[in-house]
Structure 1
Amino acid sequence: MSATIILDIGKTNAKLVLLDDAGAVLAEQRSPNTIVREGLYPHHDTERIWEWMLEGMRAFARQAQVSAIVPVTHGATAALVDDEGLVLPVLDYEYALPVSQQAHYAVERPPYSATHSPMLPAGLNLGRQLVWQSQAFPKQFRRARHILMYPQYWAWRLCGVAASEVTSLGCHTDLWQPARKQYSSLVERMGWNRLFPSLRPAWTPLHTIKPELALRTGLPAGCRIICGIHDSNASLLRHLTATPQPAVLSTGTWVIAAAPGMPLDGLREQSDMLANSNAFGEAVPCMRFMGGREFAELAGSDAEPCGIADLQTLIGQATMALPSFAGASGPFAARTGSIDGPLPANSKQRYALATLYCVLMSDYCLDALGVNADGADIAIEGSFTGNQWFGPLLAALRPQQTVYNTDDSSGTACGGWMLHHWGRSPSTSKHVAQALMLAGWEEYKQRWLNVLL
């Protein structure tokens, strides 16, 4: 049986997914994406991921004839490499970079009007990471032959070919101008042009797997390594050929609302609105919040799915979660999260509160992007498809639109499969969410908005 391996590295978990030629999942392995706190700065444990990944691929090689490997990763992350490997650890974008550098970088970074990349905290602007690394570790930085975006770092390790790709470059990095499809003034000013390899489409086979890795894993010598893609853009990929294109909620650690085809002139930097670049290099208006992280914070470690009665109780007693609970970014990043009204009585009610909160935040982001204006469908991708109330509650707030879940809890795997099978659609389907009409739900939403706005 011919199959494809997707290496899916999210901010919270890393996954290996084996899919057959129809796009159906044959096997899956996952591991926490841990951060190493020792050393120069907090960084990704790339060697642990590497060893785990190779062992997983060895197991998959016994199950199917693997013809390609596709790397898909979270954004705001890059690797500085020479011919031998990393010259500096891969920095964790949640690391609070020195405050003393903030003012300096504010002068160096290109204007929002050029990059549509908002000024973000910590290292969420990749350009800020790179400027800091070049100043704090100049000797190591000078050794770098390539700056590789994170999906292409893994592709390079697997096949030895260095490449750049637009979806990771265009993800709030300050390095790219999505509307002009070219590097920003920061890249020119810092002299980094030579460090970024040639741009390649995400679906490009870069080379076959290194012979020594084929021997170690048991994968075929002809197994191709695909260039790779940013994870939210992998989720978006299957929807780009639809007519009309739906708005997409890519859900995971981050919830990213994407509005393909909408204009960029409505984006506001202070609301953490941005333009990503899709796989074709087209600018896509987006807005996001750290929904998966906030859901976990609100629901707690002992969370268990709630019932309709739990949702109705919280709505009836006006128990509201007010942003934000991650503090990293989002439209209300300056606010400290709080709970207004009677506290949830048990773990099911905490799950219910987290669900109500994430629905309201998603609805707010869609409205801010202007999605309401044209009645476009709304597709929900990723982990929130496993929450049976998320889609129906959102559908109740948006009666003029069709809200549906995909049947793939990880839209990233589907998008990765499509890169290897370019021009084909996977054997997946969508499930329309039937509106859950709870008493007082619309009034609850208005009360929540009135407190915030």
Structure 2
Amino acid sequence: MLRVEMFHLKLALFDDGRLLWEKSAPNCIRPGPPYPHEDVESAWNFFLDALREAARSHQIGAIVPTAHGAAGALIGESGLAAPVMDYEFTGVEVVEPDYARLRPPFSESLSPKVPAGLNLGRQLAYQKWHCPDLFAKARYFVGYPQYWAWRLAGVAASEVTTLGAHTDLWAPRQGQASSLVKALGVDHLLPPLRRAFDPLGPIKPDIAAATGLAPGTLVVCGIHDSNASLLPYLVSRRAPFTVLSTGTWVILMCVGLSLDQLDPRDDTLANVDALGRPVACGRFMGGREYAVIAGDGNQDLDAIERVIASGAMALPCFSGHGGPYATTKGVIRGEVAASDRTALATLYCALISDLMLTRMGATRGDLIVEGTFGGNRAFCQTLGALRTTQRVFAAEDTAGTARGAAMLAHWPPSYQIAEPAPVNPISITGLDSYRKAWTAAVDMIAR
């Protein structure tokens, strides 16, 4: 599995769901020109070195790329036609007046308007209108996972989990490209649609020679990272259920939930799973917000109860991206001991998750917390105390996204999927009253 996220690069090897080997490195952003962009050459050199190292001790049968959904690549005849834009580049918003006239309504795309380059369609419009010389060299436009698949196998492909990840480029209910693709005049750039688990072909001969991999090593089309986290539960659970995929972002994926309560003002949307089905989702930048609020200290239940008793509150938003309060500036009200700031951050993220699930109507079925917060027992217990009609499970496996992506190498998987651990229900003193006060405070700042 080859993974690219905002801050990290990773190569991980799996065998029937067992992690055998992994190596990671920081992901780098270059300042430009023509705009801040991914340092794809540094990433490529890391992957080649890591593949070379892994091939010395393991037999690799297939490579599956996964990456976040807010990056895409304009490919020319032999390489990138334009750099892969950093989605935090705010300069892209200069196109908004013209882009807004082409943008499909939320009822079609189920993709809310979000800041900077988080809507991939806005990035594409900026590249076409502000970098015409580079854009003119493009033969294909592909999502970031499929860029790496193309680089490895030389085959360009479109794929629905990436096209359907808040891009404005996909119509989830219809299962086809949105009206924006034709309106923007980029329909000729989308290569044929392939499924996330489709083999695109073997690695190119020069890559086999450079890494020591077998010439027949397959390259699989690849998948959006949050959808990779969802895969183990799609094949092991019945709907309805919700997966909280946690890291820099917290993505709440509600399988079996109606799409009718999605509201772009709350940053709720539909992603599309690996089988092409729309999934009701919400998101906020929980990992980054947690890091801003937290200090070095306690995150156990005693600390949570001390924060509640103090009345101190963290009120959104601390990242400037994502969630129903992205445009408000985060504040901490009241006094909280430095040693309890981590508990405050945990409580804040649980409350935001609870609020978004309630607004989406996700009141039934299990809640599975995977990724970073899956290892934060206080978060899982607090979420369970807030969501008393649902069972909470913790997948403490920090390799969940990579593990899900690796499943695509042999789809559907023939091995047993590991079950997440149940979180015992508990009661937290004062939590109900605190939630009411916190919600009232949030409502006031949002007016």
TM-score by length of 1: 0.95
Deviation at 1:40, TM superposition (A): 1.1
Q: Distance in 2 between matches of 1:97 and 1:126?
A: 14
Q: 1:393 deviation in Å? A: 1.0
**C-alpha spacing 1:419/1:319, structure 2 compared with 1 (3 Å):** same
SS at match of 2:79: coil
Q: For 2:422, which of 409, 425, 432 is the aligned residue?
A: 432
- In structure 2, the partner of 1:3 is none
Please list the CA deviations of residues 5-43 of structure 1 after superposition, one character each: whole Å capped at 9, or x if unmatched.
Answer: x111112222111112x2111111111222111321111
Which deviates further from its counterpart, 424-433 or 90-99?
424-433
> In structure 2, the residue corresponding to 1:355 is in which secondary structure?
helix
Partner of 1:443: 433
- CA offsets per residue over residues 109-137 of structure 1, 9 Å max, x none? 11111101111111111111101110111
Equivalent residues, number? 441
Residues 439 and 264 of structure 1: CA distance in aligned 2, closer, same or farther (over 3 Å): same
Alignment pair present for 1:365 and 2:318: no
Aligned partner letter, 1:330: G
Where does residue 289 of structure 1 map in the other structure? 284
Q: Aligned equivalents of 2:113 and 2:96: distance in 1?
A: 10
Of residues 5, 10, 13, the one that matches 2:8 is 13
Separation in 2 of the partners of 1:56 and 1:128? 34
Distance 1:76 1:363 in 2: 25
Is this contact kept in 1: 2:232–2:417, CA < 8 A? Answer: no
* Cα RMSD (Å): 1.4
* Partner SS state of residue 65, structure 1: coil
Question: Aligned-pair distance for 1:380?
Answer: 1.0
Write the mapping of 1:299-318 to structure 2, written as runs, cut at 5 A. Answer: 299-300=294-295, 303-318=296-311
Distance in 2 between residues matched to 1:367 and 1:63, nearest whole Å: 48
Q: 2:350 touches 2:383 (CA, 8 Å); kept in 1?
A: yes
Alpha carbons 2:67, 2:223 under 8 Å: kept? yes
> Which residue does 1:158 correspond to in 2?
152
Are positions 1:403 and 2:392 aligned together? yes
- Partner SS, residue 393 of structure 2: strand
Mapped pair 1:228 → 2:222: yes
User: Is 2:209 the counterpart of 1:215?
Assistant: yes
Question: TM (normalized to structure 2)?
Answer: 0.96
Aligned to 2:198, which of 191, 204, 211?
A: 204
Q: Which amino acid aligns with 2:393?
A: Y
Q: Is the Cα contact below 8 Å between 1:414 and 1:426 reproduced in 2? A: no
Q: Distance in 1 between matches of 2:9 and 2:229?
A: 16
Distance 2:440 2:33 in 1: 46
Counterpart in the other structure of 2:26: 32
Show the counterpart of 1:377. 366
Contact 1:24 1:427 in 2 (8 A): no
Determine what percentage of the aligned residue pairs are the same residue: 46
Check if 1:354 corresponds to 2:345. yes
Q: Report the Cα distance in structure 2 between the residues aligned to 1:217 and 1:445, rounded to whole angstroms.
A: 54
Return the offset for 1:385. 1.1
Partner of 1:298: 293
Distance 1:99 1:377 in 2: 39
SS in 1 for 2:86: coil
Aligned counterparts, 1:1-400, within 5 A: 6-20=1-15, 22-241=16-235, 242-300=237-295, 303-342=296-335, 344-346=336-338, 348-372=339-363, 375-400=364-389
The 8 Å contact of residues 381 and 410 in structure 1, kept in 2 or not, is answered as: no
- Give the secondary structure class of the aligned counterpart of 2:381: helix
| 1:226-245 superposed Cα distances (whole Å, 9 cap, x missing partner) | 00000001111122232234
**Where has structure 1 moved over 6 Å in runs of 4 or more?**
none
Q: Secondary structure at the match of 1:102?
A: helix
User: How far does residue 305 in structure 1 lie from its aligned partner after superposition?
Assistant: 4.9
Which deviates more from structure 2 when the two are superposed, residues 394-403 or residues 161-170?
A: 394-403
The answer as to whether partners of 2:145 and 2:222 remain within 8 angstroms in 1 is yes
After superposition, give the CA deviation of every residue in 1:174-214 in whole Å (9 maximum; x if it has no partner).
11100001111111122211111100000001011111111
Deviation of 1:405 after TM superposition, in Å, equals: 1.2
Corresponding letter in the other structure for 1:185:
S
- Partners of 1:360 and 1:189 in 2: how far apart? 40
Assess, with a 3 A threshold, how the Cα gap between structure 1 residues 314 and 305 changes in structure 2: closer, same or farther.
Answer: closer
Q: 1:285 to 1:363 in 2, by over 3 A?
A: same
- Runs of 5+ unmatched residues, structure 1: 1-5
Separation in 2, partners of 1:202, 1:430 = 24
Q: CA deviation at 1:304?
A: 4.7
Report which stretch shifted further, 358-367 or 161-170.
358-367
